[in-house]
Amino acid sequence: MQINADLHVHTTYSKDSLITPKDLVFYAKKRGLNAVAVTDHNELEGAYKIAKETDFLIIPGMEVSSSEGHIVALNVHELIPKGYSARETVERIHKAGGVAIACHPYVYFKGCLREKVCETFDAIEVFNARAFPYRRSVKKAEEAAKRFGLSRVAGTDAHYGPQIGYGYTAIEAEASTVEAIAKAIVQGHCQPFGGPVPVVVNIQQQFLRLKRMAKKFSHT
């Protein structure tokens, strides 16, 4: 069966995201997705908590800040510590039974892996819907996918509900379960889809973030 999933979404368990668990499910359904991966920064507990509280298919994961760039770990059952090299981080993800994805490896302004992308990864995020510069980063990621024989996936890196689903992966899985999805990604039974989040949606996000910060500030 085909499962369409945004494989890179941050919730309020990441301090920089505006997406509440309720928003997550609401927008994922609205965009016609069948599943969504929760990939908060160096945090795993929230993903499992959200998965328990909804019937919608949640792929628990996290985004690990390795010392050489960000790495998305899907289907891990224990927290992967930050600060290790990319290779060591991937090894730890595999030991924890997870899938290691080189996320936004060639963008500006984010922790990106660049020349640290290597064959030990399972997949590479060829489309990151919030990547800048978008086209160039896609082209470079496609080249790396070919060079290292990595599965190709997409995600939004959403930090605001309406951004969810602009990047998504169509996964040909044997069943509608997290395990089957993880297996299909590792085997390359997946295709990235989508395009960049419209500028206006990103501006709305920044506006709401500033508003929230101002509110916090006025309370202290």
Residue in the shown chain whose Cβ atom is closest to Zn ion? 70
Interface characters, 2-41, with Zn ion (x: CB under 5 A) = ----------------------------------------
Instruction: Tell me: does residue 159 bind Zn ion (CB under 5 A).
Output: no
Beta strands of 10-149 (E only): which ranges? 35-41, 57-66, 69-74, 99-102, 123-128
Q: Which part of the chain contacts Zn ion (CB under 5 A), choosing from 52-60, 155-163, 186-194, 201-209?
A: 155-163
Q: Which is nearer to Zn ion, 73 or 184 (CB)?
A: 73
**Interface pick for Zn ion out of 6, 40, 122, 157 (rule CB under 5 A):** 157
Instruction: Tell me: does residue 70 bind Zn ion (CB under 5 A).
Output: yes
Beta strands of 32-159 (E only): which ranges? 35-41, 57-66, 69-74, 99-102, 123-128, 151-155
Instruction: Tell me: does residue 43 bind Zn ion (CB under 5 A).
Output: no
* 8 A C-beta contact, residue 53 and residue 24: no
Q: Which is nearer to Zn ion, 40 or 122 (CB)?
A: 40
Residue type, 155: G
Query: DSSP letter at 14?
Result: S
Q: How far apart (Å, rounded) are the C-alpha atoms in residues 171 and 7?
A: 11
Q: Enumerate binding residues for Zn ion (CB under 5 A).
A: 63, 70, 110, 157
